[in-house]
Amino acid sequence: MERPITQSERDDRPTELVPEMNERSELDQLFSECYEELRRLAMSVRRRDPSVTLNPTALVNEAWLKLARRPGIASTSQLHFRRIAARAMRQVLVEAARRRKSEKRGGGAAAITFDDSLAIANAGADDMIALDAALDALAEIHPRQAMMVESRFFGGLDVAETAELLQVSEATILRDWRAARAWLAAELRRTG
Amino acid sequence: MQRESENERGAARWELLQGLFHEAADLPRAERHEFLSQRCGDDQLLLDEALRLLEADEREHSLLDGDVATLAGRLLDSASPTAHPPESFGPYRLMELLGEGGMGMVYLAEREDLGSVAAIKILRDAWLSPERRERFASEQRTLAQLNHPAIARLYDADALADGTPWFVMEYVDGVSLTSYCERHSCSVAERIALFRSVCEAVQHAHRHAVIHRDIKPSNILVSDDGAVKLLDFGIAKQVESLDVAADRTRTGMRMMTPAYAAPEQIRGDRIGVHTDVYSLGVTLYELLTGRLPFDLANRTPAGMESTILEHDPVKPSAVARKTAERTGEPSIYSSASHASWAELDVLCLTAMHKDPQRRYATVDALLRDIDHFLRSEPLEARPDSWHYRLEKFVSRHRKAVAVGSGMLLLVVGLVAFYTVRLASARNEAVREAARTAQIQRFTLGLFNGGDDDAAPAESLRVLTLLERGVHTARSLDADPAAQADLYHTLGGIFLQLGKLGRADTLVEAALAVRRSMGSTDDAASGRSLVLLGDVREAQARYADAERLAREGLAIAESRAPRGSDDVAAATISLGRTLEDQGRYADAIPLFTKAIERRKAANAPEQDVAEAMTALANSYFYAGEYAVSDSLNKLVLAIDRRVYGDRHVSVANDLINLGAIQFQWGRYDEAERYYRQALGINESWYGAANPETASNLTMLGRALNFQGRYEEAVEVLDSALAIQERVYGPVHPRVASALNDLGTIALAQGELDSAEVDFRRMRDIYREIYGGDHYLLGVATSNLGSVYLARKDYARAERLFREGARIYAASQGPDHLNTGVARIKLGRALLRQGRFHEAVVESRAGYGIVSKQTSPSVSWLQAARKDLIEEFGALGAADSVAKYRAEDEAAIAKPESSGVRMK
């Protein structure tokens, strides 16, 4: 049932891991379906008790549950799906961040910060946009590392899974993560 | 860090930088600068970058180190009106934010005209249409009528102009229940007392037909003076009905706190008062142990779901004890006796039992048992692990217990008697039978030139013809290879038909003939070894079966021709023998390998499905129902595709799926599956066939568990009738059907009926097994229970005595069953006033049972109670004291001072 993922990255889109050629359209379709589903899910996510968080990883899994039965996707491995979904999730979040920022500018200018979390939320939006940009920058100098960060952070893939996805050792993943993290942190400080 | 304009240079530089970073990071801090200076040389920029990296490495970064959940949560919360709440709600003025609840924000508000305060909760992301607002408001008015000192009053509720709902509630100044207990280092007694108050509050609400649906410690506040108040009553229901935006997702977990959510909530089944009972149970668990029963962190919704639905929590006493051992300080564990903890285990786990039918049905029942506990009386709840343990034991050894085609007999205590038929056991057989049907047709064609339809002919005719086949084979001396092949084939057919003796003889003959040809380890011999192993498996000679399977596999691996299925088939056979011995962990990888092999060899789908079924079975026996479920569904799809909708393979798949639902307590779902299967089985095998009867039996059980006793009895009667017709009046299957009926009758209080059934059952086993077979013991004991219920203690005594004797003889004097039988015997003696004798039995039984199943509390509790009575009557004050001491729920132990450790 698992289709092995090949390592060939012949596309110049740095963060895409492209399997065989004939799956290209499937991939696109997968991404767009995933993206739609995540958006839909995300829009209905509600705030909850801080002690229990339903996080994007969970959303991704929910999307998988929903989409897994569709014919085009059924033959995709879950790992692969999550990788794509991570991408889509990142997209969803960036858009949400941008929307939030524009809202702030638009309405309720002198917002009585009755709600402390409002201030935090806005900071979150800035963070997200900055992270998105930083990831793009990382992707330019090391596509695979950016993809790894994306998968881990937005898709919730753990070390073992990421290692399997990228067909490298776990030690490599840990090293790469550490370096990437440091780079991103430094980058975020620089820009933020 | 400046960004290079060209990616390539950037990439190369980054490689370099990374290398430096890692090397430097491995060095002690003092040496880093030196090292970097050396390596970077003139490149000041590089040095700076490297240093920056190292610095960032050491720092915490909230975003990157955290998970994106919180961030996402904030971002995805579309700008809601609650970001700018109005300053006033009617006569209330918002003062400060108290906190964020699960569904919304809670503010402290002041009522200016009265000078009083209240709490106002505003729901986020919820929107009421004008039509619904009216209904909403009126529903809230009903809730407002709940008036109880331990329930936070709901004063008012309505919606804002834009549709956002809000509630005005009594403001409670206090901390959550768990915090309170921690801060005050509450003992077990104190915690139970607080918990009791909570239960009373819930009881009150239930009496007014209000279910909370979201009970958890954070909804239970305790004020300084120790008064308990429950919050958010009925709000969850409102919130659920508002969830228009999100469709009913598979997990549906949005509307509640997963950790405290009852299985039926997660499944979307009917909610009832029992749902609150569950949440109370989890709350109690947390109170006793300081932690939640399930670790749901980092789980996907599906993972959470399966955890809650299937995983059993660790006993509270075990958790508490471990914590105490770890921290080494006075702890909650030491504030109650060992015996009390055992009771609390039962209390807590019954309250949070996954099966609503096994839970306390109402809070009243829970309160009753709490009071029993506080008064050191036996609980009404019966501990569960008794059942589980036996169930797991028997399912592990099902073949030893099995009767013919894999009927699984469950013995629970001496009272109940369940039958679970796992058709999966012979799923492969069915597929094989389909193949065999082709052989049969061929064979039949050979012998009488006739043709046959797809359904197997009457077994009698087939057997006759097969015997002719054997006869023919015997005459093939001149062609040993063909002879051996025919023996092998016929042996296989007899195996499928359950004629183990014939199968045994024939397969051995095949091997003998091959040996005489000088072939001992050719591929064909290997296959015969595997088949012989299958025969041994059916004969429940597992050690032999395993050995043969391994031999056959070894040969297949070295000799099998390319592309043949030998290795896969041998692997599956081996896997099954391991499964029979309960070694699921070993069996599972084998089946997985077999699946892969067959897939890789492009084997026909149904063969892959066969292996999948085997795997699904293992998972089932290992208790991994979710996995088994998925696999079975896949197999079902394949079988439908290959064989069509009305084939027995499909029926068996359906039964497997039904069995899983049954395990999950979804008896109605199980029923659906069983009925579907029944439709197929009846038309394939006819109404008077053991397969149909098996199917009916399972259906009967599913009906029984739904409380549809009359229907269950009707179905089981049919099953019994078939078994009798097919096997005659004296057959293990008939006996087990009688057991089903007797159990129901006993449970319904129809003692006369139960007696008749159990008597017949006993007679049958006597005749079949002659001497001391433990099944006879079961029948005897069950019969004894009828008399016990009738208060005919003399007869009950006789029967229990006999039962215990049989158990001791067949399963050993220290077997669990023996122990329980003796406890019951003790009671029967006690009731007759024969105290000396009673003591002997009660004590012996107590000794046996307490060694093996600690949470068999009610039995032990009963035994102790009996012993206290017995010793009391004999004037043995010391012994009375001893057992009383063990029995005493020493709740009021001296308060242990010291820091409460979590």
Please provide residue B152's backbone torsions phi and psi, each rounded to the nearest 5 degrees: -65, 125
Q: Do A44 and B18 touch (CB under 8 A)?
A: no
Confidence of residue B834 (pLDDT cuts 50, 70, 90): very high
Confidence of residue B643 (pLDDT cuts 50, 70, 90): confident
What integer pLDDT is reported at residue B605 of this predicted model?
A: 80
Cα–Cα distance, A50 to A57 (Å, whole number): 16
In DSSP notation, B796-833 reads HHHHHHHHHHHHHHHH-TTSHHHHHHHHHHHHHHHHTT
Q: For residue B572, how far is the Cα from the chain centroid?
A: 26
Cα–Cα distance, B509 to B487 (Å, whole number): 7
Q: Cβ of A119 under 8 Å from any chain B Cβ?
A: no
What integer pLDDT is reported at residue A34 of this predicted model?
A: 65
Q: Do B97 and A125 touch (CB under 8 A)?
A: no
Min Cα–Cα distance to chain A from B101, Å: 6
Residues B388-402 have a mean pLDDT of 39
Min Cα–Cα distance to chain B from A111, Å: 7
Contacts of B3 in chain A (CB under 8 A): 137
Task: Write the residue in B7, B73, B83 that is nearest to A141 by C-beta.
Answer: B7
Q: Nearest residue on chain A to B56, judged by CA atoms?
A: A182
Min Cα–Cα distance to chain B from A24, Å: 25
Mutate to test the interface with A, among B65, B74, B176, B240 (most CBs of A within 10 A): B74
| DSSP β-bridge partners for residue B159 | B165
User: What tens digit of pLDDT does each residue of B317-358 get?
Assistant: 888 888 888 776 667 888 888 878 888 998 999 999 887 877
Tokens at A75, concatenated: 């033959």
Q: Do A141 and B246 touch (CB under 8 A)?
A: no
Q: Which of B442-456, B524-538, B865-879 has the lowest mean pLDDT?
A: B442-456
Percent over 90 (pLDDT), chain B: 20
Residues B508-523 have a mean pLDDT of 89
Task: Write the residue in B10, B56, B258 that is nearest to A185 by C-beta.
Answer: B56
Q: Do A115 and B246 touch (CB under 8 A)?
A: no
Percent over 70 (pLDDT), chain B: 74
Contacts of B245 in chain A (CB under 8 A): 43-44
Contacts of A182 in chain B (CB under 8 A): 21, 53-54, 56-57
Residues B701-713 have a mean pLDDT of 86
Q: Do A58 and B257 touch (CB under 8 A)?
A: no
Q: Which of A75-79, B347-351, B417-421, B637-641 has the lowest mean pLDDT?
A: B417-421
User: What tens digit of pLDDT does each residue of B137-169 get?
Assistant: 666 776 777 888 899 888 877 776 656 678 888
Contacts of B300 in chain A (CB under 8 A): 57-58, 61-62
| B550 or B122, greater pLDDT | B550
Confidence of residue B74 (pLDDT cuts 50, 70, 90): low
| DSSP β-bridge partners for residue B118 | B109, B170
Contacts of B104 in chain A (CB under 8 A): 47
Min Cα–Cα distance to chain B from A162, Å: 16
Cα–Cα distance, B839 to B873 (Å, whole number): 11
Min Cα–Cα distance to chain A from B307, Å: 15
Q: Do A47 and B79 touch (CB under 8 A)?
A: no
Cα–Cα distance, B789 to B560 (Å, whole number): 63
Q: Is the pLDDT of residue B196 over 90?
A: yes
| B779 or B574, greater pLDDT | B574
What integer pLDDT is reported at residue B207 of this predicted model?
A: 85
Contacts of B13 in chain A (CB under 8 A): 141
What integer pLDDT is reported at residue B840 of this predicted model?
A: 95
Q: What is the average pLDDT value for chain B, to the nearest integer? A: 76
What integer pLDDT is reported at residue B303 of this predicted model?
A: 64
Residues B444-456 have a mean pLDDT of 31
Residues B766-770 have a mean pLDDT of 78
Q: Do B61 and A185 touch (CB under 8 A)?
A: yes
CB pairs under 8 A between A and B: 179
DSSP single-letter state for residue B151: B
Q: Is the pLDDT of residue B385 over 60?
A: no
Confidence of residue B87 (pLDDT cuts 50, 70, 90): low
Task: Write the residue in B21, B94, B249 that is nearest to A182 by C-beta.
Answer: B21
Contacts of B70 in chain A (CB under 8 A): 53, 124
**Ranked by mean pLDDT, which of B151-155, B412-416, B547-551, B586-590 comes out on top?**
B547-551
Q: Do A58 and B57 touch (CB under 8 A)?
A: no
Min Cα–Cα distance to chain A from B54, Å: 7
| DSSP β-bridge partners for residue B166 | B122, B158
What integer pLDDT is reported at residue B418 of this predicted model?
A: 18
What integer pLDDT is reported at residue B108 of this predicted model?
A: 85
Dihedral angle sign, alpha carbons of residues B648, B649, B652, B654: negative
Confidence of residue B775 (pLDDT cuts 50, 70, 90): confident
Q: Nearest residue on chain B to A120, judged by CA atoms?
A: B74
What integer pLDDT is reported at residue B531 of this predicted model?
A: 93
Task: Write the residue in B68, B83, B296 that is nearest to A115 by C-beta.
Answer: B83
Contacts 24+ apart (CB under 8 A), B431-436: B431/B606, B431/B607, B431/B609, B431/B610, B431/B649, B432/B492, B432/B496, B433/B496, B433/B648, B434/B643, B434/B647, B434/B648, B434/B649, B436/B492, B436/B493, B436/B496
Q: Do B301 and A175 touch (CB under 8 A)?
A: no
Confidence of residue B85 (pLDDT cuts 50, 70, 90): low
What integer pLDDT is reported at residue B419 of this predicted model?
A: 18
Min Cα–Cα distance to chain B from A179, Å: 6
Residue with tokens 């149904």: B606
| B768 or B228, greater pLDDT | B228
Contacts of A173 in chain B (CB under 8 A): none
What integer pLDDT is reported at residue B446 of this predicted model?
A: 34
Q: Do A186 and B52 touch (CB under 8 A)?
A: yes
User: What tens digit of pLDDT does each residue of A25-36 get?
Assistant: 455 556 666 666
User: What tens digit of pLDDT does each residue of B197-249 get?
Assistant: 999 999 998 888 788 888 989 889 999 888 999 987 766 665 555 543 333 33
Q: Does the structure's ipTM exceed the value 0.85?
A: no
| B770 or B386, greater pLDDT | B770
Q: Do A93 and B75 touch (CB under 8 A)?
A: yes
The three-class DSSP label of residue B95 is: strand
Task: Write the residue in B72, B79, B218 that is nearest to A55 by C-beta.
Answer: B72
Q: Is the pLDDT of residue A65 over 70?
A: no
Interface of A with B in 63-82 (CB under 8 A): 65-66
Residues B710-714 have a mean pLDDT of 90
The three-class DSSP label of residue B363 is: helix
| DSSP β-bridge partners for residue B221 | B176, B229
| A55 or B21, greater pLDDT | B21
Q: Is the pLDDT of residue B856 over 70?
A: no
